[in-house]
Amino acid sequence: MPQLDPAPWLMMLTLSWVTYITLIPNKVVKHKFPNNPSPQSTEKPQTRPWTWPWS
């Protein structure tokens, strides 16, 4: 069965993961957000009960 022979796909899988692990995190870490996050208020919003039309 050709699926059990690791020669054709194991090296490609290994090289793909090595590339992913070494290059992609560097690109993600260098990304800068355009806006700084602002803290949210601690007050809870006022909610109103829902009026159901059939009740």
Instruction: Give helix then strand counts, H and E, for the chain.
Output: 1, 0
Global pTM? 0.42
pLDDT in tens, 28-41: 778 777 777 788 87
pLDDT, residue 55, reads 60
pLDDT in tens, 11-24: 899 999 998 888 88
Q: Among 15, 37, 19, 36, which Cα is nearest to 27's? A: 19
pLDDT, residue 45, reads 81
Q: Is the dihedral of CA 33, 36, 38, 39 positive or negative?
A: positive
